[in-house]
Structure 1
Amino acid sequence: MNTWLQVVIAAVFEVGWVIGLKHAASPFEWIMTIICIVVSFYLMIHASGKLPVGTVYAVFVGLGTAGTVTADMVFFGEPVQIIKLLLIALLLTGVMGLKLVSGNKEADV
């Protein structure tokens, strides 16, 4: 699997566990939250073995933050504010910039 794709998938699972920590109410929801934590950190740690750790962490946290804020607005009624959307766009621009300037250590990265 492409290493950058692992980072993106890890960030998606991060959004899942962050939402789970706030909203989980049943044993099933807590189990799903724990699964999201495990998958998220496994993929991030695995990607860190092939890519620069600082870049992986910054991209992971940036995408996770953007995803969590977006999920709050879409699924949980958090008010949509233009400043939030602009800041998410700025954050994602920084994440894409980090990916572009980081050196590839292997061909499939």
Structure 2
Amino acid sequence: MNWLILIVAGLFEVGFTSCLAKAKETTGSEMYLWYGGFVTCLAISMFGLMKATQSLPLGTAYAVWTGIGAVGTVLVGIIVFHESVDFWRVFFIFTLIASIIGLKVVSSH
């Protein structure tokens, strides 16, 4: 169950970084709505990380959480914000995903 909580927390990390990017593109009240989304996603993400680390090793949980956030944010950047895609970028995304899976596999919890 705590792995599921950690994955959801990582997805909310993608949410708060995406909200920051959208807030940068807007002005006025729409910008503040995106900042509200940022704060909400940040709180949920941190709470999920906190809950997951109550039974998972801290180092593993933090690495998985940041890895999900990093991979998800890069993918959102490519898909939503039309950031560049090249061989090395995709290669290192896959190595990061492999590392996250590896940490899950070798974790004793």
Partner residue, 1:16: 15
State how far apart, in whole Å, the 2-side matches of 1:22 and 1:78 are: 12
Q: Which has the higher helix share?
A: 2
State how far apart, in whole Å, the 1-side matches of 2:65 and 2:15 are: 13
State how far apart, in whole Å, the 1-side matches of 2:41 and 2:95 are: 26
- Counting only pairs closer than 5 Å after superposition, residues 46-61 of structure 1 correspond to structure 2 as 46-61=51-66
In the alignment, is residue 83 of structure 1 matched against residue 88 of structure 2?
A: yes
State how far apart, in whole Å, the 2-side matches of 1:50 and 1:33 are: 27
State how far apart, in whole Å, the 2-side matches of 1:29 and 1:20 are: 5
State how far apart, in whole Å, the 2-side matches of 1:100 and 1:31 are: 36
1:50 is displaced (CA, Å) by 0.8
In structure 1, the gaps of 5 or more residues are 105-109
In structure 2, the gaps of 5 or more residues are none
**What is the TM-score normalised by the length of structure 2?**
0.90
Percent identical residues: 33
State how far apart, in whole Å, the 2-side matches of 1:82 and 1:3 are: 34
The worse-fitting range, judged by mean Cα deviation, of 37-46 and 26-35 is: 26-35
Structure 1 moving runs of 4+ over 2 Å:
none
**What is the TM-score normalised by the length of structure 1?**
0.90
Alignment deviations for residues 55-91 of structure 1 (CA, whole Å, 9 cap, x no partner): 0000001111010011100000101112111111100
